[in-house]
Structure 1
Amino acid sequence: MIQIGLTGWGDHPDLYVSSAKERLQDYSSHFPVVELDAAFYAIQPIKNSLKWIKETPDNFQFVVKCYQGITGHLRGDFPFDSTEEMFELYRQSIMPFKEAGKLSMVLAQFPPWFQCNKESVQYIRKVREELKDFDVVIEFRHQSWYAPEYKASTLEFLKVNNFHHSVCDEPQVGDGSIPLVPVATSNKVLVRLHGRNTFGWVNPGNNVKWREVRYLYDYNKEELSSIKSVCQHLEKQAKDVIVLFNNNSGGHAANNAKTFQHMLGLDFVGLAPKQLDLFEGDF
């Protein structure tokens, strides 16, 4: 089964018919799954988790990002007394999603400097132990994990340790990007579509608005057709294929996702009742 969604629900104006406070409800009238990226920037209070659960349909699913302190992105002061406290608070934060049956998976996206070496492998094992009660998907950003001499071992490591695999479509720009590797290592696989903005992918070091343009990309139908083939290939390997469009910078993600849904001939059931076909005639 292929499910389609977006990374976050706050930056897709074409989807909204209500007030800003009801954006998640509006979003869930269009798509059955979303990536919760707020969890990356801060461990969310349990009250937020319960609120989002309440605002979505019974079968709605969340892909919850790991907090940045877990994946090694954190810059500045460490706001916890210990690593153990960080993991405990994060587990408490995401447990309501699991208990409600709305946790698709936890996304551990490691940074471009997280290279394939013994220390990194040991740390991923620690993450597996700390999050042993949760489905976890691993996304790498350093291409060493898929170098010819390590690729097979990387995929086998994910499989043996019961990790889902994140298959990425992104610009191929140096070591800080990974190739598209259409392999599932479990019964679920995540496909994250970051766009193909080659010139904006790497931070030049002096552009404070870099992140605003990094994901500036509009997939054309030929590119989406190629991605369709990838997803259908993955569907033969895994029970669930979760596809998330992350090309949000220019507001293209929602329309690309709708186009992709039509190309696959998918009708999502159990959506929120506000569904309005705002995209009629666009395809």
Structure 2
Amino acid sequence: MAEIRVGTASWTDPTLLASGWYPPGVRNHPEKRLRYYARHFDTVEVDSTYYALPRPEVARKWAERTPKGFLFHVKAYSALTGHGLEAGALPKDLKALLPKAEGHLPQREVPREVVEEAWRRFLEGVAPLKEAGKLGYLHFGLPPWAGPTPQNLRYLERLAERAEGHLVAVEFRNPRWYAAWDRVKPLLQTLGLVHVSVDAPPHPEAPPRVLEPTREVAVLRCHGRNAEAWKGPHTKPYERFNWRYSEEELLDLAEATRTLAAQAERVFVIFNNNYGTQGVEAALGLKRLLGLGKPPWTEGPFY
């Protein structure tokens, strides 16, 4: 049986902080907050790096505040996945290269030199985690409008080259990738890219759940099953993933996890339904069903 780790796609989501899950005195203290999270989980996905480039000094603090063996997975910056960017979130020197200093820029309006520098700073920003042995995968979620076109297949090839030396996981949001799965899966295997399986609602614009790893590592990201809110429009990012998994649904996810574990050496299950306590409760529920206890370091001197 593979090693299985379960966590959430953020530990600082505003609705989680407001939910009361973190004890008093912990919620507003960054170091205590991360240490408290690590009492329950041995892995987490960093969501903030999608919206703004990571900074090495922040990643270094994350590494220092977690025990040996804890793993961070880092979501790729939006301009590296074809989503464009928010101009106001860029450092001043890069913002000066943009056609406008505020608002959203679609990918076609982002200058090439900005994308190139964003790549450099993104990898530089996660380097402290890699050096500390605490970097899991880099998550690249392709936009829902991006299908398996020749251009996007070349993107996967360039992605493997640019991120060489890192474990790269790719999530497809467009169902057409799976209509071409007999061509896509061998390409991922050849490029050494990890396929991200998803749990999503039964919606024509949502990807199906395909439990087929392309490396020795498997990833299952659980977005909830809110079919009504899947397409949007959304005023807040969490609205699409506002879903509380039932016990029956968690049993289904446990079986999906075991299916992946029979094919891989290591499985990461990440809950992206980050509204209030929904993500942490689902993650704890799945751990219970899989017989996974607290992280081993909770009994040691780290705490």
TM-score normalised by the chain length of structure 1: 0.90
> Counterpart of 1:55?
65
Deviations 1:64-89 (A, max 9, x none): 01110000112426488443222111
Contact 1:29 1:273 in 2 (8 A): no
Shift of 1:251: 2.5
Output aligned runs, 1:234-245, within 5 Å: 234-245=260-271
Shift of 1:116: 0.8
Between the aligned partners of 2:46 and 2:281, the Cα distance in structure 1 is 19
Identity score, percent: 31
Equivalent of 1:220 in 246, 249, 254: 246
User: What 5-or-longer segments of structure 2 have no aligned partner?
Assistant: 85-103
Contact 2:40 2:295 in 1 (8 A): no
Shift of 1:25: 1.4
* Structure 1 residues 239 and 15, CA gap change in structure 2 (3 angstroms): farther
| Structure 1 counterpart SS, 2:195 | strand
Q: Which moved more, 1:22-31 or 1:77-86?
A: 77-86
Output aligned runs, 1:110-121, within 5 Å: 110-121=142-153
Between the aligned partners of 1:25 and 1:100, the Cα distance in structure 2 is 17
Deviations 1:150-178 (A, max 9, x none): 11211111111101110100013223x20
> Counterpart of 2:228?
199
Match of 2:129, as an amino acid?
Answer: F
* Structure 1 residues 218 and 162, CA gap change in structure 2 (3 angstroms): same
| Structure 2 counterpart SS, 1:249 | coil
Contact 1:25 1:272 in 2 (8 A): no
> Counterpart of 1:189?
218
Contact 1:57 1:270 in 2 (8 A): no
Are residue 156 (structure 1) and residue 183 (structure 2) matched? no
| Structure 1 counterpart SS, 2:158 | helix
Between the aligned partners of 1:26 and 1:162, the Cα distance in structure 2 is 34
Equivalent of 1:4 in 6, 12, 17: 6
Between the aligned partners of 2:214 and 2:286, the Cα distance in structure 1 is 24
Equivalent of 2:200 in 151, 170, 183: 170
Shift of 1:270: 3.3
Between the aligned partners of 2:295 and 2:244, the Cα distance in structure 1 is 27
Match of 1:9, as an amino acid?
Answer: W
Contact 1:3 1:242 in 2 (8 A): yes
Shift of 1:220: 0.9
Output aligned runs, 1:98-109, within 5 Å: 98-109=130-141
Are residue 94 (structure 1) and residue 89 (structure 2) matched? no
| Structure 1 counterpart SS, 2:263 | coil
Match of 2:5, as an amino acid?
Answer: Q
Between the aligned partners of 2:285 and 2:134, the Cα distance in structure 1 is 25
Deviations 1:13-33 (A, max 9, x none): 454222412211111111000
Between the aligned partners of 2:247 and 2:114, the Cα distance in structure 1 is 48
* Structure 1 residues 28 and 269, CA gap change in structure 2 (3 angstroms): closer
RMSD over aligned Cα atoms? 1.9
> Counterpart of 2:160?
128
Equivalent of 2:235 in 197, 200, 208: 208
> Counterpart of 1:281?
none
Contact 1:194 1:247 in 2 (8 A): yes
Match of 2:228, as an amino acid?
Answer: F
> Counterpart of 1:16?
22
TM-score normalised by the chain length of structure 2: 0.84
How many residue pairs were aligned? 269
* Structure 1 residues 255 and 154, CA gap change in structure 2 (3 angstroms): same
Between the aligned partners of 2:46 and 2:295, the Cα distance in structure 1 is 21
Q: Which moved more, 1:19-28 or 1:96-105?
A: 19-28
Shift of 1:226: 1.2
Between the aligned partners of 2:173 and 2:298, the Cα distance in structure 1 is 34
> Counterpart of 2:90?
none
Between the aligned partners of 1:250 and 1:178, the Cα distance in structure 2 is 25
Contact 2:213 2:264 in 1 (8 A): yes
* Structure 1 residues 45 and 199, CA gap change in structure 2 (3 angstroms): same
